[in-house]
């Protein structure tokens, strides 16, 4: 499955400001649906390295009108990308179908109650530290082991809170408290994370590890993003989260066909 990224923020690292105006955001969501997105992931608070928290009211004002408008015009599944329970509740009331918590349900204890009340599918993402400081020399004694333990605990908490069986997705959090080398290692060792038994989401889109590896600016990372997405699918990812849906659809579909080819 392909998850299309819709950042309704002024400061996201790649598309900040492009879709802050609701009408433009809705047009982009519908365009991504036409290009082959399976889910639209709407976020109103940047979680790029160095970003600062956004007030709840401001985040609500960014995401709720967009979700309402998209839901009136399309039945495509909508994910709300937030760590705040209040935002999650309002997004669900507006028409969101799924929760994407970049803190892995650790930042707001009320998020588990949102799951209990709504029985939502949820994406549990691993992140090390707060966005403002998460890239300040992140270190691990056992990279894959620590990520696996975190994701397993988050998935079990989500299921205990009422997330539907089969509706818990885990995400290793490319770029969230990881060095460029950590991110390359995660992509290489995805089969170990897929072995957790939950659908695995990977989000490599335009991220800084590509720039570090290849010396490319954000607007030059399309082909490398597609390569990373294809490798993620080949190594066990069930979902990929991308900005470039049209091109990504073609890349991940071919990777999935290769993965499913007969031996």
* Rounded CA separation 163/155 (Å): 9
* Residue 119 is a catalytic residue: no
* Closest CA relative to residue 62, chosen from 77, 85, 47, 46: 46
Catalytic residue among 62, 89, 241, 249: 241
Compute and round to an integer the Cα radius of gyration of the chain. Answer: 17
Instruction: Check: CB of residue 28 under 8 Å from CB of residue 6.
Output: yes
- Scan for tokens 């029985």, then name that residue: 119
Lookup: tokens for 55? 């007030």
* Residue 71 is a catalytic residue: no
Catalytic residue among 62, 207, 221, 249: 207
* Closest CA relative to residue 154, chosen from 124, 132, 187, 134: 124
Q: b or e along 181-214 (b: 16 or more beta carbons within 10 Å of the residue's beta carbon)?
A: ebbbebbeebeebbeeebbbbbbbbbbbbbbeee
Q: Catalytic amino acids?
A: 207, 241
């Amino acid at each position: 499955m392909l998850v299309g990224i819709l950042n309704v923020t002024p400061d996201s690292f790649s598309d900040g400001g492009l879709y802050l105006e609701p009408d433009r955001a809705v047009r982009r969501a519908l365009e991504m649906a036409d290009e082959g997105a399976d889910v639209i992931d709407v976020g109103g608070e940047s979680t790029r390295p160095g970003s600062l928290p956004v007030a709840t009211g401001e985040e609500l004002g960014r995401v709720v009108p967009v979700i309402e408008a998209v839901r009136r015009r399309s039945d495509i599944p909508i994910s709300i990308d937030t760590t705040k329970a209040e935002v999650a509740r309002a997004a669900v009331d507006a028409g969101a179908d799924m929760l994407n918590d970049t803190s892995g349900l650790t930042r707001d204890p009320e998020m588990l109650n949102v799951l209990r009340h709504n029985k939502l599918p949820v994406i549990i993402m691993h992140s090390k530290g707060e966005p403002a400081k998460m890239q300040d020399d992140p270190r691990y004694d056992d990279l894959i082991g620590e990520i696996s333990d975190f994701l397993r605990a988050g998935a079990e908490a989500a299921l205990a809170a009422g997330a539907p069986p089969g509706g818990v997705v885990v995400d290793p959090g490319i770029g969230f408290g990881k060095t460029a080398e950590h991110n390359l290692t995660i992509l290489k060792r995805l089969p170990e994370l897929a072995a957790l038994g939950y659908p695995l989401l990977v989000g490599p889109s335009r991220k800084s590890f590509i720039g570090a590896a290849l010396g490319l600016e954000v607007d030059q990372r399309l082909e490398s993003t597609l390569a990373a997405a294809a490798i993620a699918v080949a190594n066990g990812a069930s979902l990929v989260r991308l900005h470039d849906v049209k091109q990504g659809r073609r890349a991940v579909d071919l990777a999935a066909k290769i993965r499913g080819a007969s031996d």
